[in-house]
Structure 1
């Protein structure tokens, strides 16, 4: 077996990416291609020195040495690429996985270290940034998100745990859910324990008069009482009490377990969510369940589950088994090649219907409703690999998405498109009882369907000859850079509107609310009373859409996209296209700055978004997500006048992370 050293180097002055392969073995190596993937893309117009660029697909690239090249023992082959889709900004942008593909069909995986940058490197940052609990905090108890009324005093002896005493079915269900939650997050701490083990009595009472998620915690020297009108309210009261207990137990010099007083609380916003992309990187059932537990500990109540994209299809659909047989996997020689750092081996996965039912039930138990997303009509490369007859058989030429996928959009002019969509959606509706289905609608390329006779005929019928002829001229024009959502008024927007109107009407007839990214507003055809939009571009765009009557969940990329790096520094992981945001900046961000009173009437709430391109390394996940997730949770729950960065940072280190 050959022994090789593989290194990569970013040359910022030259805007070039250099990859070097050194033969450390005793035999010559010939007849190979170097294949790599990461977050970076190599453009179709890229040029290479020392070899040539072969096949590319989004973040997958093949590099070919010169014809007849032989890598002799001790020799190094270097190939330098100019023309990446974007300049590398962070160590996670470069190659994360690489291998050699030989002419005989075999492969050899290469050990891939983080890309170095010419001009200086610090050690790559991974894992949660430490937030030490100080000796003195601005408040007597540790709670995130901070409650809206806290009036407590005195110091009780910190109890070993809590003995939950219930007076009815809702209280019992809340106690059961909380017990399961703390066992999942803090298994050895014994937060819930019987009186025989020293547990302090906690009396749970269902009482009328509270808002749906509101609660009240009352402290007395020998016991605690929690009151709420709903099971979720009682559960959230227990979460607050559990946080108070952990703070006082682990940092008694800083935080107390009150002897008396009261905490009264109600959320500022009804929708407090997290979006997770499981298409770019796959997360197993155990990871999803622990993540849901962390959401509940942060009093987040919506999980937006991004189940499909160009890179993969992740949900079992009985009617189309190829979706998971083909679309859930990638690797060398498969329909989907290695992407985003995966290697030549078959990798990926999907969620069975049984697993989804278990996850949905667990989420509902701890106050979380789950919204599935199937991203259409764009972002459908994986779907089309599994069901190839969705494409117009007479379509010619190509268009490219901003992520570098060719011809990745479902054709709105084909009846087969709706047959497949409605079949898939019916199976999804059966799995997700919240009856809110997100259909994406983002980043359709402006050249989409420009080579499809069926689409052009439909466009001619709905938009006239001039629009159809103008759209046909976009054929084979590279449109995968800049302005990915700037399609308003184009033929692509008109065709997408046709698709969205029909799919949204189908969902409404099935009793469902339709979710979409902000691009779903193109054409202004969807029923605003049965739809909500996720505003990802910036606060001004979300405000404008709210002014047009759309119900909005605000998730601006510059602050609430948790794949964005903490800073522009090379040693930080993550992306940078929307900027950088430290935990403090995320905490301070006002998602409705400048909104009018009328616009605020259309606000559903806020949502953090995790896009998984840089998340192959799970320590990168932890660094990027925590504590920024808690910062957004507090914005969704706590009234602005009660927010305090100094108070928040004093408790942030007590909040759980997914892996660390």
Structure 2
């Protein structure tokens, strides 16, 4: 390449770092009227630059020389600046993507690629964290079943297998099993009354519970609910060896056993951020396959954010025509990666129905998240005539670096927009819940808006946070009129206006979840320090990911126990409805990194949700995890190696 960018830490304190940036012109031609465009995940103190001028919107930075300096052949431009955050420890903390442009290209930007060298950390750590696994013993099921008894012997699974279904409740699970077996055996699988793999209804079993019996000539999957049949199917699939036997009949030899099992928590979820980077349907379906295999029952789909609107809305085609795309010449500026080109995508309503149906056959509900009132930049940029208050002079900056991403609770257009969008979301998604985000509304918002001040006076509000509560109460009531229950991050309680019917997801800390549970809210525990799979998996500088909530190795995920500091009889435990993992995707834009961040930690999250704490044991889990690795290898998952 003709241009190279070096970025190094030159001084580092607890909450302040000084960095140096050098742009090299490696070509044989001078570069005039230039600007450097780059992305990084922290806020640069623009006034601290020693040379040049900087504008930053979110992660997107544009650096220009103060005096329109010409960058000579084999010359360089050097500047220093400050960033007021915790010290840098990861290579991923550096500049993510970059290009150069010149004003000669105006009005359109023509990106010129730039090579980025490795981030120059002051004291990089290189020792890789390992999680040694115990030797495989017995039948390796994750999550750990309540009761598993090996019986000796085996069931030979061949192309002659057939599925028998005696109840409509097993229809979805049997379709899932049939699909998996056909892929495995490379042949069609019959469904007939005298099949040797039996789905059998048994009313006395609790919802979600199941029994599985593997005999020499028959397999019995027994449950009283759709979810129970899916859980039985998941266990059976895990019992099928990753390879066929070497004997002439080439059968998959399933060990004979009896299993009796039921989940510990009712909510066992995984959240995927598709706002920051768009994930294609194939990737999402493959993730759902794995969630079902490990007995998750919720796919939480984060569909809107500052950087992208990903769900088709008939009332507002601009949301996907404008809001689903970003780039150097788009209404929404580039962010994170792929900044030199138009980037984005969205899901049509047919795409979403396909995912919902696919997930339902595998025992998962799909909960949509439409983030409000913050994280709304893509929507606001798409519909400025409806969502921008021209008289609002409030000055704020969100944690992600935006000053224009918050809906106004005093604007009539906000309520028109939310009503139409949520009506279509409620019609599209059959789940009884809609997640509305509600996180990270910054200080300073709504404080210099005549309309917002008038609304506060009208209702006797004293704190701008009450305006958030005002808006969320409207949304909660509207969702209730559609038969939906509202979910939100813990900031949904800000302003003290939503009812205890709202389900709160605790993300900032364990303590935040405890506070909400003690206040009477149903809570799903999702503290970043234990469940955020975008966190780096060790202290080595080469680990990919982020670390604002700390490093998160596999063992730390597994050893999490919600509200473990409370006595077992404390009533707050009854308000914890489950646990959830999450993958935020600022730095996740391809299948390889997607899988590396999720696996094998996803399997640890699975056991947190399903298996009672007194039954969990790290060494024993690690042996079962070791037994699962052949499957991960077989299906080509790029998991982080444990040692």
Identify the residue that residue 525 of structure 1 maps to in structure 2.
497
Cross-structure match for 1:220: 215
Alignment-derived partner of residue 480 in structure 1: none
- The residue correspondences of 1:265-276 to structure 2 (distance < 5 A) are 265-276=261-272
Q: Which residue of 2 aligns with 1:204?
A: 199
* 1:577-623 deviation line (CA, Å, top 9, x unaligned): 11112101110111231345311221211111111112135433322
Stretches of structure 2 lacking an aligned partner (at least 5 in a row): 639-643
Normalising by structure 2, we get a TM-score of 0.89
Would you say how many aligned residue pairs link Structure 1 and Structure 2?
Answer: 616
**How far apart, CA to CA, are the structure 2 residues paired with 1:191 and 1:239?**
20
Moved more, 440-449 or 562-571: 562-571
Q: What do the CA deviations read for 1:425-475 (whole angstroms, capped 9, x no partner)?
A: 0011111011311111111112111111000111123236xx4xxxxxxxx
The CA deviation at 1:111 is 4.4
Q: Deviation of residue 173 (structure 1)?
A: 3.6
Q: Which residue number in structure 2 is paired with residue 476 of structure 1?
A: none
Alignment of structure 1 residues 341-380 onto 2, 5 Å: 341-380=337-376
| Secondary structure at 2:515 match in 1 | helix
Distance 2:513 2:405 in 1: 27
1:10 aligns with: 9
Describe the superposition over 1:458-507 as per-residue Cα deviations: whole angstroms up to 9, x where unpaired: 1123236xx4xxxxxxxxxxxxxxxxxxxxxxx22111111111111111
Per-residue CA deviation, residues 233-267 of structure 1 (Å, 9 max, x unaligned), is 22221221111122685999xxx966544111111
Gaps of 5+ in 1: 468-490
3-state SS of 2:542 partner: coil
Counterpart of 2:469? 497
1:546 aligns with 2:546: no
Q: Alignment partner of 2:529: what SS? A: helix
The answer to whether structure 1 residue 92 and structure 2 residue 87 are counterparts is: no
Shift of 1:37: 0.8
1:28 aligns with 2:23: no
Q: For residues 383 and 263 of structure 1, do their structure 2 counterparts lie closer, same or farther at Cα, with a shift above 3 Å needed? A: same
Task: Indicate whether 1:631 and 2:604 are aligned.
Answer: yes
| Cα RMSD after superposing both structures | 2.8
2: CA distance, partners of 1:194 / 1:130: 42
What displacement does 1:219 show?
2.4
Contact 1:304 1:371 in 2 (8 A): yes
1:477 corresponds to which residue?
A: none
User: Is contact 2:467-2:495 (8 Å) kept?
Assistant: no
Match of 2:292 in 1: 296
Cα distance change of structure 1 residues 441 and 428 upon mapping to structure 2, 3 Å threshold: same
Does residue 53 (structure 1) correspond to residue 26 (structure 2)? The answer is no
Which of the residues 526, 534, 553 maps onto 1:555?
A: 526
Tell me how far apart the structure 2 counterparts of residues 154 and 550 of structure 1 sit (CA, whole Å). Answer: 48
TM-score (norm: length of structure 1): 0.87
Counterpart check, 1:443 vs 2:446: no
Are the equivalent residues in 1 in contact too, given 2:535–2:546 (CA < 8 A)?
A: yes
Q: Describe the SS at the equivalent of 1:30.
A: coil
Cα distance between partner residues in 1 of 2:455 and 2:394: 18
Partner of residue 475, structure 1:
none
Partner residue, 1:487 = none
Partner of 1:145: 143
Deviation of 1:377 (Å): 0.7
Between the aligned partners of 1:527 and 1:397, the Cα distance in structure 2 is 29
Is 597-606 or 582-591 further displaced after alignment?
597-606
**Contact 1:293-1:366 within 8 A present in 2 as well:** yes
8 Å Cα contact 2:146/2:260 also seen in 1: yes
* Residue of structure 2 aligned with 1:513, choices 468, 485, 489: 485
Please state how far the C-alpha of 1:31 moved relative to its aligned partner: 1.3
Q: In 1, distance between residues paired with 2:229 and 2:410?
A: 51
Is the Cα contact below 8 Å between 1:23 and 1:71 reproduced in 2?
yes
What's the secondary structure of 1:99's corresponding residue? strand
> Could you tell me whether the CA contact under 8 Å between 1:166 and 1:172 is conserved in 2?
no
Separation (CA, whole Å) in 2 of partners of 1:162 and 1:308: 47
Deviations 1:259-314 (A, max 9, x none): 54411111111100011111111111111111111111111110111111111111
Q: Distance in 2 between matches of 1:363 and 1:222?
A: 30
Residues 97 and 340, structure 1, Cα contact 8 Å, conserved in 2: yes
| Change in 2 beyond 3 A, CA 1:296/1:498 | same
Report 1:254-269 matches (<5 A).
260-269=256-265
**What is the match of residue 641 of structure 2?**
none
Secondary structure of 1:16's aligned partner: strand
- The verdict on how the C-alpha distance between 1:225 and 1:377 changes in structure 2, with shifts beyond 3 A counting, is same
**In structure 2, distance between residues paired with 1:357 and 1:321:** 18
How far apart are 1:56 and its partner, in Å?
A: 0.9
Q: Distance in 2 between matches of 1:273 and 1:93?
A: 28
